[in-house]
């Protein structure tokens, strides 16, 4: 078994695809409209779905925003240098909500960014 994807509901699909591709450097892997169900699915990731897990961005055409609730945590991405990644994400227009640095009560270097719908994405520096 392996993880295939994680699904996030998004209010504006174009804005979300732009964030994950232009700010976080993922690729749009596939996209499909379902007119009868009034929704679109867009899959983004760093490599082919046959080899890596992806994010499924689900846009329900009649819903502009979602309540994130208090059960959602975050998606985590490994980066070579969390400090450099934060600088690049800010340069690309992304929002860093926790600057890179050692995690509280540990030595792992982490940072957090926020996508356009408010979902948190953790950056974990490789090797720490």
Catalytic residue numbers? 122
Token pair 């450097």: residue: 25
**In Å, how far from its chain's centre is CA 29?**
14
Which residues, in sequence order, are CB contacts of 117 under 8 Å at separation 6+? 8, 9, 10, 11, 12, 16, 65, 66, 68
Tokens coding 7: 């699904």
């Amino acid at each position: 078994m392996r993880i295939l994807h994680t699904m996030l509901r998004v209010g504006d699909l174009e804005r979300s695809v732009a964030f994950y591709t232009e700010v976080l450097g993922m690729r749009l892997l596939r996209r499909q409209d379902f007119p009868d169900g009034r929704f679109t699915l867009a899959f983004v990731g760093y490599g082919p779905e046959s080899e890596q897990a992806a994010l499924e961005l689900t846009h329900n055409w009649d819903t502009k925003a979602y309540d994130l609730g208090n059960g959602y945590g975050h998606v985590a991405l490994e980066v070579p240098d969390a400090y450099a990644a934060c600088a690049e994400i800010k340069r690309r227009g992304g929002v860093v909500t926790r600057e890179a640095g050692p995690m509280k009560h540990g030595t792992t270097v982490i940072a957090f960014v926020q996508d356009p719908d408010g979902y948190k994405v953790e950056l974990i520096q490789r090797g720490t």
